[in-house]
Structure 1
Amino acid sequence: MDAIRSLLPGGSSYYLLCAVVLVVAYLVNTTYITVFYHRGLAHGAVTLKPWLRRFVAVTGSWVTGIDPKAWACMHRQHHTYSDTAKDPHSPLNSNVFAVMLDQLRSYERILVQLLKGRPDTTAIVADLDFPVSWVNRKRVWYLPYVAQIAIAIALGVFTGGWLLGACYFFGLMSHPIEGWLVNSFAHAFGYRNFETEDNSRNNTLIAWLVMGEGYQNNHHAHPGSAKFAFRRFELDLGYVVCLVLKGLGLIEIPRYDAAPKRVPAQSY
């Protein structure tokens, strides 16, 4: 009983439990986004097992609040038009703070185009053999948020404290913040290992916070690589997750033979 009491508000382990829930929820979210959506569906840098691919297509919107097909479509547009006027989310078109709204507006626009079957948009993700998620097809996109809020409230009621539920919700539904950090700061501030035609940067702080995603210059130079870190001091935790999932037999990592050709590092 003492062990249980320690996990309740006021108990010696309550804040530790909140931290664990926040980290685990965040890891679930980032695994979906950076491994399944980004390196898997958008780029094919990792290959999901067929059953896992179907599972992600069905559960993705419920877990992250973001439709996997629409996300992949927007991201492919980002690479095609990176840091140009057609980029769905570039700080060069507004500023680092406005990117938050830019990415949400672009996501909504692309999702609507997919639902309407607009040919030039559907062609971008023609290789993704699953439809837009049920919640978006039925125009009930808000249900995943309602469900996650309900779970968060239930956790708070069960433990008698709101903090645990808040940690669960903000850890799991954190992608808008993650996306904003990457799409804004990692295209504005940082160093460059490669000459690319865009303004992509390697931002170490963002990379550490968002599972390697801050190494945007590395990624834009070699989008087919499952690993975003190319130098000894660069840490890509997303790739570590890829290796764990590969070891569990859930994904494959195709061999990537492009030899990184670095240029002298350019500073912030």
Structure 2
Amino acid sequence: MIILGFFVLHWYFSILMQTFFLHRYASHQMFTMSKSWEKVFYILTFIAQGSSFLSPRAYGIMHRLHHAHADTEEDPHSPSYSKGILDMMWKTRLIYNRILHNQDSVEAKFKKGVPNWKFMEWLGDLWICRLAWGVLYTLFYIKFATAWWMFLLLPIHYLMGPIHGVIINWYAHRYGYVNFEVDDTAKNLLPLDLLMMGESYHNNHHKYGGRANFGFKWHEFDPTYPLIKILDALHIIKLKINNDLKYM
């Protein structure tokens, strides 16, 4: 039970920081926050993602490219231009690394306003740091695992961030249902998204990219949105536009 609890905690803490900080804040700037709070969420993202830490700056820029060029050859991660999941992940990694190390030729407009705490960007990308997180996960499993099959979960811990990304960037462009007509293949992967904390309402998001609540239909509950409303009420963040719940 300890191992399964740890896995669930890591899964949801990681996807929460990815959808809240990397996606809705760094990429789309759906809300604002002070530089002090930005650093707090940088640290929380570093802890949540651990060995698979994704740079908020590089993620934000790359995701903007995805929206601007969805399902074209310029899309950083499109199933339509990939031979398979691993091929898409490898291409995404190459583009991500070029942006991360300032070796890209991305237009300045895609880089405007992305968060950039250089120390945490550097620390999170250190291989020795990623390895240390992996060792900690492994030692935890050695201590508390009660069956051999539990160790099969370890690779997911090591690559948690990219795995969350590929679930949406691959499967939500191939499977699911559509609420809105868009110029790409984005679909809503799950009718009730308790797995990806609202991220799987991908068709909705591609239609209304600046809307903080990803759900539209009555059954499309976005678990991240109530947290955003709470943080807004506490003046930790400030929503830029009216994002009240509206259902179809």
More off after superposition, 155-164 vs 118-127: 155-164
* Equivalence for 1:222: 208
**What TM-score does the superposition give when structure 2 sets the normalisation length?**
0.81
Note if contact 1:156-1:162 (Cα within 8 Å) is conserved in structure 2. Answer: no
Deviations 1:178-233 (A, max 9, x none): 21111112112222211211111112168332111111110011111111001101
Which residue of 1 is the match for residue 131 of structure 2?
146
> Could you tell me whether the CA contact under 8 Å between 2:188 and 2:204 is conserved in 1?
yes
Residues 65-111 of structure 1, C-alpha deviations (whole Å, 9 max, x = no match) = 2111111111100000011111111111135xx24432343233233
Q: Which runs of 5+ in 2 are unaligned?
A: none
Query: Structure 1, residues 116-146: CA drift from partner, whole Å, max 9, x if none?
Result: 354535552232252551147xxx6323421
Conserved 8 A contact 2:22-2:60: yes
What is the TM-score normalised by the length of structure 1?
Answer: 0.75
What is the alpha-carbon distance in structure 1 between the residues aligned to residue 231 and residue 128 of structure 2? 29
* Structure 2 counterpart of 1:55: 40
Seen in structure 2, the aligned counterparts of structure 1 residues 241 and 100 have a Cα distance that, compared at 3 Å, is farther
Gapped regions of structure 1 (runs ≥ 5): 1-14, 263-268
**Equivalent AA in structure 2 for residue 56 of structure 1:** F
1:42 corresponds to: 27
**Using the alignment, how far apart are the partners of 1:109 and 1:198 within structure 2?**
21
Which one-letter code corresponds to 2:79 in the other structure? P
Q: Which of 185, 190, 195 pairs up with 1:199?
A: 185
Find the residue that maps to 1:116 and give its secondary structure: coil
RMSD in angstroms over aligned alpha carbons? Answer: 3.3
Report which of the two structures shows the higher radius of gyration computed on alpha carbons.
1
The aligned runs of 1:1-268 (5 Å cut-off) are 15=1, 17-57=2-42, 60-61=45-46, 63-64=48-49, 65-94=53-82, 98-116=84-102, 118=104, 120-121=106-107, 123-130=109-116, 133-135=121-123, 141-159=126-144, 170-171=156-157, 173-204=159-190, 207-246=193-232, 249-256=235-242
Q: CA deviation at 1:261?
A: 11
Task: Mark the CA change 1:100 to 1:245 in structure 2 (over 3 Å): closer, same or farther.
Answer: farther
- Contact residue 190 and residue 203 of structure 1 kept, 8 A: yes
Kept in 2: contact 1:206–1:213 (CA 8 A): no
> 2-side partners of 1:245 and 1:172: how far apart?
29
- Residue by residue over 1:235-258, the C-alpha shift from the partner in whole angstroms, topping out at 9 and shown as x without a partner, is 212223323444554333332379
Instruction: Out of 153-162 and 82-91, give the one that drifted further.
Output: 153-162
Q: Secondary structure at the match of 1:207?
A: coil
**1:21-41: per-residue Cα shift (whole Å, max 9, x none)?**
222212210121000000111
Identity of aligned residues (%): 24
Once residues 71 and 17 of structure 2 are traced to their aligned partners in structure 1, the CA distance between those partners, rounded to angstroms, is 25
User: More displaced, 188-197 or 251-260?
Assistant: 251-260
The structure-2 alpha-carbon separation of the partners of 1:232 and 1:24, relative to structure 1 and needing over 3 Å to count, comes to same
The separation in 1 between residues aligned to 2:245 and 2:110, in whole angstroms, is 27
Q: Is the 8 A contact 2:79 2:169 kept in 1?
A: yes
